[in-house]
Structure 1
Amino acid sequence: MSYNTQMEAARKGIITQEMESVAKKECIDVAALRDLIAQGSVVIPANINHASLEPCGIGRGLKTKINVNLGVSKDCCDFASEMEKVRLAVAMKADAIMDLSCFGKTETFRQKLVQSSPAAIGTVPVYDAVGFYDKELEDISVEEFLGVVEKHARDGVDFMTIHAGINRETGRRLKNNPRLTNVVSRGGALLFAWMEINNRENPFYEYFDDLLEICRRFDVTISLGDACRPGSIKDATDASQIQELIVLGELTKRAWEKDVQVLIEGPGHMALNEIAPNMLLEKKLCHGAPFYVLGPLVTDIAPGYDHITSAIGGAIAAANGADFLCYVTPAEHLRLPTLDDMKEGIIASRIAAHAADLAKGVPGARQWDDQMSEARRNLDWAKMFELAIDPEKARRYRAESQPEAEDSCTMCGKMCAVRNMNKVLSKVNII
């Protein structure tokens, strides 16, 4: 029995190799996974042309996944250094990598990225359109926008951010309800500008069916972009954000009618108390589609530390239903991230994802923590390093400050509670 997409296969009762691989990694029943894909609650981004892919599942009941952004800009155009970031992201177990390159001819880099990365690859085609056609934004035609989408699909991109929800009506809502930070989504701002200059509807909204045909042909998962995501906590949960979310829910149903897999993208910047209600809103308005969030950043006052503000929000978001976290680095709002920035961002996001998995009771999540606690009780430093989310840093800290007693650390020395309890309970002298 033939099929074009993972969703179509699932709806026909077919269990694909990708489903088998994901079910094994997630320790769940493959038939149950197939049913979740069929109803749209789980996606497996897996372009038919991405031969090096090690598929991962994103959605209900699965481990929270993380995405790493990279790519060149006009001010920092070094594809070799971006490939170093790719290698680091893969080594640090990122589940997905988004190429957000927005300058020059990016085709060669994108193709090399797809060929070399086992992680799912995402892009934002509208970023590439200006450089690809070497045209002013307002001069790019509908056919050319769709042409870039098809080019990315042919190159093997697994999921694409498409800002189809910022249509003319959403734009009116935005203008009638002024914001502190307006539109902070780069793709959203480009399309808003294109619509305003040309006095036309968003091409990705108007020609959504043509977009779906491309995605169906290559099994590209549509990540419906949140052009109106809040760029400050003041703008969170406002009229334009909710208006766009309603449109995204409608587009989700249209995509599912064509057996195209869908992710929904979300905020953004948001105060702690608004995060859980926003997760509920998305799941309600977008019919349980997997939710992909940038942060949310829970305060606006920490440039240089936004990997922390993001991790706080990401843990709360994922514990309340978000399925996919986009990492944020300490360089957010300041510069293109370095390798060190990337590492900090990945670790912070992985901690947030795991903390949420503990709260959600994801199978296997607590076992990792229990193993670490057992190693600490036994003062088994080698095992602690092996289990650490960042073994290199843990080993370095231990090596930099050596204690007098090997079964302690320089914080407590022989007064170590764990050491002394072990000795007392085994009836051995403490000192």
Structure 2
Amino acid sequence: MTQLEAARQGIITKEMETAARDEGVPAEYIRQGVAEGTIVIPANIYHKSLHPYAIGKGLRTKMNVNLGISEDVCNYETEQVKAKLAWEMKAEAIMDLSCYGETAPFREWLVKNSPAAIGTVPMYDVKGVLHKGLKDMTADDLFSVVERHAKDGVDFMTIHAGLNRETAKHIMRNKRITNLVSRGGSILFAWMYMHGKENPFYEQFDRLLELLRKYDVTLSLGDGCRSGSGHDSTDAIQISELINLGELVLRARRAGVQVMVEGPGHMPISDVRMNVEVAKKLTHGAPLYVLGPIVTDVAPGYDHITAAIGGALSASCGADFLCYVTPAEHLRLPDVDDVHEGIVASKIACHAADLAKGVKGAALWDEKMSWARRKVDFKEMIPLAIDPAKARRYRESSKPEDEFTCTMCGSMCPMKTLDEILNNRNPEDDPFEKK
């Protein structure tokens, strides 16, 4: 049975127990959330190296790392380095977005070695698997790629099932600046346009659910109509798809399939809270997975920052799962350094949101750092940093004479000044008391 079916029968699985220990909450809390559909644990029955993580209501904000090859950059050795970096930096999920050639060996390597949940977008892989153009692909062909990924042990899949013919009409009628920026969504739209048919994943949704249930693959309902620019945020196209996604969430739950929903892309800060609240309302509290959101369109090279701003705000408002964005977003395939920068930015966003949400234990980390700073103890501070290696490089690049200060303030360090006064004062002597 799936995690959802077990939870509904009152069974606490070993995956629920592991997730509960990680979160510092009772296993019953996880079970109840999974049963309600407000928590998911992506865990394919064939992913044996998995450390299961729970995503959803009341839990730490989780992070996904995208990687994979393209037609222009196809070095799987580099992608393996990126994956190992993601594991070292405790990313809870990795999505293989490879979209060229034979992808199965790398996907199988990931499943064999990854403690993080593995996700894919099967539509990215249709050309490489089927060796034919979209015009010649049948609905059965598309489903065969989904099943192959499931058999390979993928824990969650992005399927753009909410992009139906009615939503496609909205796309034709409502002109955007950036049209569809979802790669998977645009491929499906093109297939529907070429064939003059309904989206097979919407039309045959029960078939999709039966396939996913067999392997306990978590369905990540993709936002094929997400906005690709601030101008296009929260329009009729996006909302039309979101209404469909809410209906599909209920059908997935009834079928015993765990389900989460992917959220919008680019939007101004003023739209973030409203988008999160509307998405949560229309999709019945399903875990919300967001890319960014990217809060301004003019920062190529720095979109890990624009996304971290949007991610922190959206997660503080109720989003549960952040997809990292690297500095290379909109420019090229990220290299290893880009991946590192993207992970750090996303980890900052996740933790900032957890502080705002009052997630259990989140503030303790900050308090430990604050006490170390009060003591001006860099040997204690640096290991507490999100990126200790970078903190150490900065510290060692400019050392002061006094080990218990830094080259910013030196002898004028406010921590040392106040500690010297307050620790050595006579409690009975208060110079601020009127005499």
Normalised TM-score (structure 2)? 0.97
Distance 1:182 1:19 in 2: 40
Of 56, 61, 75, the residue aligned with 1:59 is: 56
The aligned residue for residue 125 of structure 1 is 122
The aligned residue for residue 179 of structure 1 is 176
The aligned residue for residue 433 of structure 2 is none
The aligned residue for residue 366 of structure 2 is 369
1:412 corresponds to 2:409: yes
Distance 1:56 1:152 in 2: 20
Distance 1:336 1:116 in 2: 23
SS of the residue corresponding to residue 426 of structure 1 reads: helix
Distance 1:366 1:389 in 2: 14
SS of the residue corresponding to residue 267 of structure 1 reads: coil
SS of the residue corresponding to residue 101 of structure 2 reads: coil
Of 220, 232, 235, the residue aligned with 1:235 is: 232
SS of the residue corresponding to residue 160 of structure 1 reads: strand
The aligned residue for residue 251 of structure 1 is 248
Distance 1:139 1:125 in 2: 17
Of 133, 144, 165, the residue aligned with 1:136 is: 133
**Aligned residue type for 2:194:** I
Q: Hey, which bits of structure 1, 4+ residues long, moved more than 3 A?
A: none
Of 124, 147, 150, the residue aligned with 2:147 is: 150
SS of the residue corresponding to residue 293 of structure 1 reads: strand
Distance 1:372 1:130 in 2: 50
Distance 2:170 2:361 in 1: 44
1:164 corresponds to 2:161: yes
Of 35, 58, 61, the residue aligned with 2:32 is: 35
1:12 corresponds to 2:2: no
Shift, 1:395, TM fit: 0.5
* Correspondence list, 1:210-221, <5 A: 210-221=207-218
Distance 2:329 2:55 in 1: 25
Distance 2:192 2:382 in 1: 54
**Aligned residue type for 1:206:** E
The aligned residue for residue 225 of structure 1 is 222
Distance 1:105 1:206 in 2: 28
The aligned residue for residue 312 of structure 1 is 309
SS of the residue corresponding to residue 245 of structure 2 reads: helix
1:92 corresponds to 2:89: yes
Give the total of aligned pairs: 425
The CA deviation string for residues 261-317 of structure 1, in whole angstroms up to 9 with x for no partner, is 001001100100100001110111000000000000000000000000000000000
The aligned residue for residue 332 of structure 1 is 329
Q: Which runs of 5+ in 1 are unaligned?
A: none
Shift, 1:427, TM fit: 2.3
Percent identity of the aligned residues?
60
* Correspondence list, 1:260-409, <5 A: 260-409=257-406
Distance 2:208 2:403 in 1: 62
The aligned residue for residue 431 of structure 2 is none
Distance 2:379 2:399 in 1: 15
Normalised TM-score (structure 1)? 0.98
Shift, 1:426, TM fit: 2.3
Q: Which runs of 5+ in 2 are unaligned?
A: 426-435
The CA deviation string for residues 178-230 of structure 1, in whole angstroms up to 9 with x for no partner, is 10100000000000000001100111111111110111000000000000000
Of 65, 69, 76, the residue aligned with 2:73 is: 76
Distance 2:113 2:135 in 1: 35
Distance 1:138 1:38 in 2: 41
Distance 2:420 2:328 in 1: 47
SS of the residue corresponding to residue 98 of structure 1 reads: strand
